Structure 1
Amino acid sequence: MASVPRRRPTIADVAALAGVSKGAVSRALNGGAGISAPTIARIQAAAAELDWVPNSAARAVSGAASQAVGLVLRRNPELLEADPFFPAFIAGVEQVLSAAGQSAVIRFVSEAGAEHDAYRRLFSERRVDGFLVTDLRHHDPRFEWLRALEAPAVVAGTPPRTCTLPSVGTGSADQVRELLRHLIDAGHRTIAHVSGPPSLRHARRRIDLWRQTLEEAGLEPGPLADGEFTSEGSVRATRELLEAPNRPTAIFYASDVMAIAGMSAIAEAGLSVPDDVAVAGFDGIALSNYVVPSLTTVHCDYQLMGRRATQMLLTLVRGEEVPHISTPVGAQLVVRRSTTRTP
């Protein structure tokens, strides 16, 4: 005979066990206004004994904090597998949230309407207390959405100057310039760039830094190809560059994953790294030190970025002020064999 499911405990059960009213339970678990410390302790013990937690609807009615932060991602979840940013960033986020007894709510959406709805519902239903904002785009509508919601939010990245939200960026611009000057000093005069989608602000920023640094050195920027921040896109872009009349002697990739995939395309073409084509990446993933040849890259501490952004967000949620300026975590140029020709 099938077993009868155990009924979920309710706030009335907690009140009965603790010998108080339902209103007292609600107040005790949402700040304790007008409730004595012994009574709060008794209510908390009753809730623990019954394994009861308030649901999201009750939190919405009572105005209680959700003890969670939101991250809405408008991208294919499968792309996260090849993205070095998110695993490290989320690890940093979770370190802070775990220590604070809080959690992250992540939503994947496919288009702008669903994205807007996700922000609105998560915040209005009090499933989250605020948001971490990533994958910044040009003319990004989320800044206006969050302002209208009056939702606490922190940007992970470098937003436009018109954005009034606090942000945490990599602060890697100087290191990208240093990397490109390293290639120029090594004698390279045709330095290509395999970028991410130009619709993303960080991809466009790396394109601009590449172009500006070459122009400052009196060199013609190019060629440029979009690798889509994927291995497949990088291989396709690299083949395109190698087949061009002005074949580059060096390629700066907007990510280490694309750089490592590009190295395979270079080898497939019968060319050698770095003697025929020097290769450099961006991110500083652990694998970059173990490929052959080891990869020159700009290392960014995305885990630190996640920790700082989350600490700032929790400060905002508490009603405290944080500076509305970009806080950089810093970056480091790591020169390895992929850009150093054999004597």
Structure 2
Amino acid sequence: MKPLTQKKIAEIAGVSQPTVSRILSGGAGVDEDVRERVMEIVNQNGYQPHAMARGLRTHRSDTLCLAVRRGRKGFAKDPFYAELILAVMDTAAQNGYHLSVCSSRTVGGERLFYDALFRSNRVDGLIILESLEHDERIERLREHRFPFVLVGRYDNSPDLFTVNNDNVGGMRTLVRYLFERGRRKIGFINGLPDLTVCQDRLLGYRKGLEDVGLAYDPALVCEADFGEPGGRRAAQRMLKESPDAIIALDDIIGLGALAAVKQSGRRVPEDVALAGFNDSLFCPHTEPSLTSMRLNVQELGRQAAEMLIARTKDSTLAPRQVLIPCEIVERGST
């Protein structure tokens, strides 16, 4: 039986040979259904790259990859991602590297992406976002000893290279800030509970309540889907508990909360104060303007890229965990 070639894979999958090559090398710009179809053929037939191609693993590609969990629509609407990608891209370019950005909406698509990544030599290292409490990506990257940097936290592991915002400290500061302005029934709209960023901000919220002597009330915590509609629905549920302040996990959820509060006939900030997190570009332009915790996204991206570049050049580097402080920006909503 003749060995399977990329040309044959392309014929079976009904795509071009360059598309197969791009998928096998971990490249971007391919529809996820096409990627899954090609990788299913590859895995079923045990395809292995030509020995010469495998030998290319010893050479550098001068390309970094930033991988996000959300689908393209999910992260395209969030200004945080645009700012972070630009910061990583600028730092990579200053150091002679290219940047590839990949996204996956499904667990299957994500697994196929990493299958292709480990087969190829097209990417020197990876920056990953939105870690889960139990994250298959991180475990696979560890197993393959593939260079990567996590923007976030994972199980407080000292053996990882990480760059993170001070999510716990920032949320504690927001709770204290609202308490000092007379708020005593402070609610929190969180995101998905298995994301470590959501766990950390919830922890900061609870510690903030403890700092100022307020009891934790589970009825004042709601989980929301990411996005403005999710924030609106969560705030509508929370308003039944009559909070005098609401903190949103991020500014886009905060937009939804702002709309819900106003639709309920309550005034912001007179009846309900509202604060977000990330200090997105639109925060000064809402009505009223949105108080938010400002992240230094430029520094986050720069340090993540520099850390990854250093690691790809020297595999003996000791792991580092960098925590970047944030600061509150007071506006009309509080």
Match of residue 99, structure 2, among 96, 104, 108:
104
Contact 1:195 1:229 in 2 (8 A): no
1:92 deviates by 0.7
Find the residue that maps to 1:105 and give its secondary structure.
strand
Match of residue 144, structure 2, among 144, 149, 173:
149
1:57 deviates by 9.2
- The one-letter amino acid paired with 1:82 is K
- Quick one: percent identity of the two aligned structures? 28
Aligned to 2:72: 77
Q: CA RMSD in A?
A: 2.0
Aligned to 2:232: 235
Aligned to 1:224: 221
Deviates more, 1:176-185 or 1:159-168: 159-168
Find the residue that maps to 2:247 and give its secondary structure.
strand
1:319 and 2:331 are equivalent in the alignment: no
Q: Which runs of structure 2 are paired with 1:4-43 in the superposition (5 Å)? A: none
Contact 2:133 2:154 in 1 (8 A): no
Aligned to 2:55: 61
1:210 and 2:211 are equivalent in the alignment: no
1:113 deviates by 3.7
1:309 deviates by 0.4
Contact 2:69 2:129 in 1 (8 A): no
For structure 2, the residue ranges without an aligned partner over 5 or more in a row are 1-49
Aligned to 1:192: 187
Contact 1:253 1:281 in 2 (8 A): yes
Q: Structure 1 length normalisation: TM-score? A: 0.77
**Aligned pair count?**
282
1:320 deviates by 5.2
Contact 1:273 1:279 in 2 (8 A): yes
Q: Measure the CA separation in 2 of the matches of 1:97 and 1:331.
A: 24
1:114-141 deviation line (CA, Å, top 9, x unaligned):
3233123223211211111111111112
Contact 2:70 2:104 in 1 (8 A): yes
1:163 deviates by 5.5
1:118 and 2:113 are equivalent in the alignment: yes
Greater Rg, structure 1 or structure 2? 1
Pair 179,77 (structure 1): closer, same or farther in 2 beyond 3 Å: same
Q: Measure the CA separation in 1 of the matches of 2:250 and 2:133.
A: 20
Q: Structure 2 length normalisation: TM-score? A: 0.79
Match of residue 92, structure 1, among 82, 87, 91:
87
Q: Measure the CA separation in 2 of the matches of 1:144 and 1:83.
A: 27
1:159 and 2:163 are equivalent in the alignment: no
- The one-letter amino acid paired with 2:204 is L
Q: Measure the CA separation in 1 of the matches of 2:121 and 2:188.
A: 44
1:219-263 deviation line (CA, Å, top 9, x unaligned):
233411112221000011111111x2x310100001111112211
- The one-letter amino acid paired with 2:154 is P
Q: Measure the CA separation in 2 of the matches of 1:303 and 1:203.
A: 21
Contact 1:134 1:156 in 2 (8 A): yes
Q: Measure the CA separation in 1 of the matches of 2:262 and 2:195.
A: 30
1:338 and 2:333 are equivalent in the alignment: yes
Pair 262,57 (structure 1): closer, same or farther in 2 beyond 3 Å: farther
Aligned to 1:302: 297
1:280 and 2:275 are equivalent in the alignment: yes
Aligned to 1:258: 253
- The one-letter amino acid paired with 2:312 is V
For structure 1, the residue ranges without an aligned partner over 5 or more in a row are 1-55
Q: Measure the CA separation in 2 of the matches of 1:85 and 1:76.
A: 15
1:153-172 deviation line (CA, Å, top 9, x unaligned):
11111222235211111124
Pair 326,338 (structure 1): closer, same or farther in 2 beyond 3 Å: same
- The one-letter amino acid paired with 1:249 is D
Contact 1:254 1:281 in 2 (8 A): yes
1:273-323 deviation line (CA, Å, top 9, x unaligned):
000100001001122122222221110011221111011101111125544
Pair 284,57 (structure 1): closer, same or farther in 2 beyond 3 Å: farther
